[in-house]
Amino acid sequence: MPGIGYQDSGNEILRVQDLQLSFGGVQALNNLSFKVQKGQITAIIGPNGSGKTCALNSISGFYRPQNGKVFFNGNDITKLQPEKITRLGIGRTFQNIELYPSLNCVDNLMVARHIRMSRTSGVTGFLYFGWAHAEEIMQREKVEEIIDFLKLEAVRKMAVGALPYGIRKRIDLGRCLALEPEIMLLDEPMSGMNLEEKEDMSRFILDIVEEKVPSVVLVEHDMGVVMDIADEIIVLDFGRKIAEGTPTEVRGNQKVIEAYLGSTIKQNTS
């Protein structure tokens, strides 16, 4: 499928162009445009209700913006179904963890492998039962690789619903990794975590970009984490982009400081 509507700028993987999304009287996204480069962590920050999740939902096809376009690798994906977008290579995690609570860690990741395989080999259906034995062994090896990478050995056979929140968040990251996406959209992967868990998660995200998935879009409230690991930051307020740039640029942006981030940034840099 050729690129439609703009000149591909080489290193760009995702482009959001003039997105307009409203619910009744609420303008959730207001002419939102931004680009994501390969090999980078792009953070989206902003106060509660500023449109961060709506932006991810519009990229991944869960919401249908009234106007605007989303391009992935130069192709217009605006009107595609979420499943199709996932299969094209956009993986995501949700603000509220989306795992099968009664399945164990391995099986949750196997379900994601099946979705991944349906993109590469034409296998369809929802669960992986009925796969050829050799195929299943190969997929289990991939899953064990992810379990090893995310240090989940101790919980691999435990029902996910019974595990602590921080571990479930990590398994959810593993579920997204199992899709082998080209880009990951992470919606508050560190919410509800203690400092140590946040440090672990930050490390995992940095390692993922280096070794496994070249681009990450990270929605996160913890400014310390964002300033530490993001290459680019997009700042939203009331659905509008009010600033963008490197952590240093955003930290020093008077508009951002005055609007709502001042005290948080100062706290984290003092």
| Residues near Mg ion, by CB under 5 A | 52-53, 95
The whole-angstrom separation of Cα 171 and Cα 74 is 31
* Smaller CB separation from Mg ion, 52 or 116: 52
Shortest distance, CB of residue 52 to Mg ion, whole angstroms? 5
Shortest distance, CB of residue 63 to ligand ATP, whole angstroms? 7
Site for ligand ATP contains 28 (CB under 6 A): yes
224 burial level (CB within 10 Å; 0-12, 13-18, 19+) = middle
Residues 29 and 58: beta-carbon distance below 8 Å: yes
254: partner contacted, choices Mg ion, ligand ATP, none (Cβ within 5-8 A by kind): none
Q: Of 23-31, 116-124, 150-158, 260-268, which segment contacts ligand ATP by CB under 6 A?
A: 23-31
Among 14, 16, 35, 52, which residue sits at the site for ligand ATP (rule: CB under 6 A)?
Answer: 52
Among 17, 50, 86, 108, which residue sits at the site for ligand ATP (rule: CB under 6 A)?
Answer: 50
Residues 89 and 71: beta-carbon distance below 8 Å: no
Buried b (16+ CB within 10 A) or exposed e, 191-204: eebeeebbebbbeb
To the nearest 10°, report the CA torsion of 7, 10, 13, 15. Answer: -30
The footprint of ligand ATP (CB under 6 A) covers 23, 26, 28, 46, 48-54, 95
